[in-house]
Chain A
């Protein structure tokens, strides 16, 4: 008993595994390189799973500079916070998706954070959010730092979907993160090529694929001025949704 009296426990650590245990699948959309399309793929993947499988949860894990809500077309200034024995994720109107982001609390402001603050925010969001889906898609920030490390320690179900464009910087980044995940015996669903313009782009990605032994599941085409369609996710889904079917099948069949 005396040893207990000296311990200061963070209660969030006890509840987070229970909160995440409701998910049958947890998919972390990942690339250490920024600008490869993680957020767009995360939103479209959540949409695809929700349409072809069922209710899907989407979490923006970028707590410093979240942007998933922009692709979803939400006016973040007008989104309120709903509570019921915790914080309820936002139901995306007309869709079978529930969504959580730090932007509900920071609105359009940048939040300057050091490592321990990021860890605290990830713990806070995971301990008080009451999800109601079977599959969680996580849009991760660039890099491989506190957000991803802290999140993934709470669930053994996490599976990684690697995003890469065909350029050497993104391919090199994808190779590094795959090597790291493989060394930890983590489950990698596959690679999603993005912004592919020519046949040789697919060749570059397939070369990476054969080198690291991870399949390229799909290659999303380059779209001129895609940023003009951020917020109109239905348009984006019509463009790319079909390409995501192999990924959804792979996730759902696991």
Chain B
């Protein structure tokens, strides 16, 4: 249930934004899910719904819709410049789990397909971002 901790972070952000902007209702909470972090959408949604209920009860802040938007994991090699979409499927379940917890550990398990460097930038699809409207 590592997703629960991330859901807490998202709901804390909703609470902070509501307070900063003097708003108590958001129409959409959009969450960008970077593929690299392999978030379990069902667990995340379950945790969000539970925590948002508490937020509404305790602080009167509500969110009408939650939208999950997946973002491809793309890397760019810092040595040769090659850009590619990261595929975690060939990795063992154990290694995928480490990347799930800490996406940067992907450099231990994957190298640049062109030059074998581990010095690559994760251009997109690393983790979670939220957007409120």
List residues of A whose CB falls within 8 A of some B CB: 1, 4-15, 18, 81, 83-87, 102, 105-106, 109, 111-114, 117, 120-121, 124-125, 127-128, 130
Q: Are B98 and A8 in contact (CB under 8 A)?
A: no
Q: Which residues of A contact B13 (CB under 8 A)?
A: 9, 11, 13-15
List residues of B whose CB falls within 8 A of some A CB: 1-2, 4-6, 8-10, 12-13, 15-17, 21, 23, 26, 32, 78, 97-98, 101-105, 107-108, 118-119, 121-122, 126-133
Which listed residue, B6, B17, B97, B126, touches A4 by the CB 8 Å rule? B17
Which listed residue, B8, B101, B103, B107, touches A120 by the CB 8 Å rule? B103
Q: How distant is the Cα of A81 from the Cα of B5 in the complex, in angstroms?
A: 15
Q: Are A5 and B9 in contact (CB under 8 A)?
A: no
Counted as pairs of residues, one from A and one from B, with CB atoms less than 8 Å apart, the total is: 110
Q: Are A125 and B1 in contact (CB under 8 A)?
A: no
Q: Which residues of A contact B132 (CB under 8 A)?
A: 4-5, 7, 9
Asked if A8 meets B32 with Cβ closer than 8 Å, knowing A111-B107, A120-B103, the reply is yes
Q: Are B12 and A18 in contact (CB under 8 A)?
A: yes
With A11-B10, A14-B15, A114-B121 given, name 13 new contacts (CB 8 A): A4-B23, A5-B132, A8-B129, A9-B13, A11-B6, A14-B13, A87-B5, A105-B105, A111-B107, A113-B107, A120-B104, A125-B102, A127-B6
